[in-house]
Amino acid sequence: MKNDWLKIYLVSIFGYALIAFSVNAQTIVIKNATIYDGLNNSPFVGNILIDQNKIKKISTSNFQADLVIDASDKIVTPGFIATDTQIGIVEIGALSVTRDDSSNMYKIGFSIFNGFNPNSTLIPWNRSNGITSAITLPNNTSSPIGGLGSFFVLDSKLDVTGTSDMVMIGEFGGSSSKSRAEQFSMIEDLLVLASSLSKSDINSDLELSSLIDEWAISNAMDLHPRDLRALYKLVNENLPLIIKSHRASDLLKLIELKEKFNLNIVIMGAQEASLVTAKLAEHNIPLIFDPMNNIPESFDELASNIQMASKLEEAGIQMMFTVSRSHNYHLIRQGAGVAVANGLSYGAAIRSLTSTPAKVFGIEDRGAIESGKIADLIIWEADPLEPSSMPEYVFINGENIDLTTRSSRLRDRYTKKLDKPVIYRD
């Protein structure tokens, strides 16, 4: 076979390439799929050719492949990208020994990347429900901006695939014990400091330590060189800043900051965004929010409304969805369905789960069904926005993923082979 020949040829040249190659050395065709490509195209029926880890071709003509999956009458979407999770750094919420999401030491430069657990049970569970990659964020720190999140591919490999420290988080509004006016000044002071840093500064711990002493804000906040490096990255490398904020007037203040410091701001929560849609659209600010959350949970969130997603679509604002708990982050599908029931277009709902997060966070090789993209794909039993429907197949990096989860094992243990004692069942 051609592939075998290729394998041998490559092995003879590169030797060490054999292992990686033979694991993935197959081509897969998903035939007759109804394709929602995650981009602006209307759904269409076609065949998808996966070669190695990539989508090689999409066409109505037939392809030869090692494995052919008939997806007639099935919807195929890109794998969904989660944007606001604690996947891999919190196993059980109320058990601090299973949490790696916070730091007392670092305020702005705290990175969760080295704490990530690819064997977390949250990964197979979310994956079997359609989430193929995730941005994992630390808990908010005592600083109004700070804490670095990373991107992870949810393939459960101990050799982690991802991008470290690709986003910073922050919070602005009434949930802090500080006046929001004080928070605003602190953010401004930190950004002024950040703007003053040079490339040579950040290469020297000693230099940074003396700068920390010199600047009132870093001195008062007891910052560390790592914190200053993160600030430098924020203002010089266009790092997305996901800042949690709700009140309409606060959202306008964040727009002011964005313009003054040329920040790449993404607003999270944004329960009052529908009061300031025109401004948010004008300044091209993407939002992450829970489309099911219409509760005025605080005095910052009085305008929360179940129709928010459709209003944002009308205004042309990029949106992504979140849920309150990472254990079931896949429920962003249900949220997207609720948004559609309340006026959002179906296409916009799918984009919000796929290409929008890819674009906003620079994950450009994923999030769409397009030739050349990495093959993170889902074949759905039925409509993916119906929470009752589940994936039939999940592909991550072109690999057909086993959908067994700890939860499905527990289910089978108590519903099958009941003649055996529980402890000897599968």
Partner 1 sequence: MTNQLKITLCCTFLFFSSINVLQCKPFESTYQPLPAEKILITNASIYDGDGNEFKNTDVLVQDGKIIAIGEDLPVPEDFRIIDATGKWVTPGIIDIHSHMGVYPAPGVRTSSDGNEATSPVTADVWAEHSMWVQDPQYALALTGGVTAFHVLPGSANLIGGRGVTVKNLQRTTINSMKFPDAPHSLKMACGENPKRVYGNRGQAPSTRMGNAAGYRKSWIQAEGYLRKITEYEKKSEEAKELEYAPRRDLEMETLAGVLKGEILVHNHCYRADEMATMIDIAKEFNYKITAFHHGVEAYKIADLLADNGICGALWADWWGFKHEAYDMVQANIAIVDQARNGKGCAIVHSDDAIGIQHLNQEASKSLAAGRRAGFDISEARAMKWITSNPAKAAGIYDQTGSLQVGKNADIVVWSKNPFSVYALAEKVFIDGAMAYNRGTDLLPASDFDIGIISPTKNRTQE
Query: Could you tell me if 136 and 92 are in contact, meaning their C-beta atoms sit under 8 angstroms apart?
Result: no
CA separation (Å) from 50 to 10, 38, 366? 20, 17, 14
In the bound state with partner 1, the residue whose beta carbon lies nearer, of 105 and 418, is 418
Task: Name the nearest CA neighbour of 384 among 77, 33, 81, 35.
Answer: 77
Number of helical (H) and strand (E) elements in the chain, helices listed first? 15, 16
- Regarding 34 and contact with partner 1 (CB under 8 A), the answer is no
Choices 22-30, 194-202, 222-230, 289-297 (CB under 8 A): range interacting with partner 1: 289-297
Taking Cα atoms as reference points, which of 11, 28, 29 lies closest to residue 20? 11
Spatial CA neighbour of 366 closest among 53, 34, 59 = 53
Q: Which CB, 169 or 331, lies closer to partner 1?
A: 331
List binders of partner 1 among 98-157 (CB under 8 A).
121-122
User: Least Å distance between CB 4 and partner 1?
Assistant: 39
176 in contact with partner 1 (CB under 8 A): no
- Cα–Cα distance between 137 and 88 in angstroms, integer? 10
| Residue placing its CB nearer to partner 1 in the complex, 57 or 425 | 425
3-state DSSP assignment of residue 305: coil
Q: Give whichever of 377 and 390 is closer to partner 1, judged by the CB atom.
A: 390
Check binding of 301 to partner 1 (CB under 8 A). Answer: yes
299 scored as a contact of partner 1 (CB under 8 A): yes
What does the alpha-carbon distance between residue 70 and residue 47 come to, in Å, rounded to a whole number?
9
Report the nearest approach of partner 1 to the CB of residue 426 (Å). 14
Q: How far is CA 225 from the centre of its chain?
A: 28
Assess 385 for contact with partner 1 (CB under 8 A): yes
Interaction between residue 296 and partner 1 (CB under 8 A)? yes
Q: Minimum distance from CB of 93 to partner 1 (Å)? A: 4
Task: Tell me if 415 contacts partner 1 by CB under 8 A.
Answer: yes
Q: Per DSSP, what are the bridge partners of residue 135?
A: 151
- Cβ contacts of residue 92 below 8 Å, gap of 6+? 98
CB of 299 to partner 1, least distance (A): 6
Q: Least distance from C-beta 393 to partner 1, angstroms?
A: 15
Q: How far is the CB of 33 from partner 1 (least distance, A)?
A: 22
CB within 8 Å of 391: residues ≥ 6 apart = 128, 129, 130, 378, 379, 380, 381, 403
388 binds partner 1 (CB under 8 A): yes
Q: How far is the CB of 92 from partner 1 (least distance, A)?
A: 5
The one among 143, 183, 293, 354 contacting partner 1 by CB under 8 A:
293
7 Rama sector, left if φ>0, alpha if ψ -120 to 50, beta otherwise: alpha
Report the site for partner 1 in 185-214 (rule: CB under 8 A): none
Helix (H) or strand (E) holding 69: strand 67-70
Q: For partner 1, which is the closer residue by CB, 217 or 302?
A: 302
Residues 245-284 interacting with partner 1 (rule: CB under 8 A): 275
Q: How far is the CB of 239 from partner 1 (least distance, A)?
A: 30
Among 41, 386, 402, 417, binds partner 1 (CB under 8 A): 386
Distance, in Å, from the CA atom of 286 to the CA atom of 240, rounded to the nearest integer, reads: 10
Question: Does 158 sit near partner 1 (CB under 8 A)?
Answer: no
Do 303 and 274 meet the contact criterion of CB atoms below 8 Å apart? yes
Instruction: Give the residue with the Cβ less far from partner 1, 209 or 389.
Output: 389
How far apart are the C-alpha atoms of 147 and 140, rounded to whole Å?
7
φ, ψ for residue 308 (rounded to 5)? Answer: -55, -45
Residue 95 as a binder of partner 1 (CB under 8 A): the answer is yes
Stretch that binds partner 1, among 55-63, 106-114, 201-209, 332-340 (CB under 8 A): 332-340
CB 250 within 8 A of CB 180: yes
> Which residues lie near partner 1 (CB under 8 A)?
91-95, 121-122, 275, 292-299, 301-303, 305-306, 325, 327-328, 331, 334, 337-338, 340-342, 385-390, 407, 410-411, 414-415
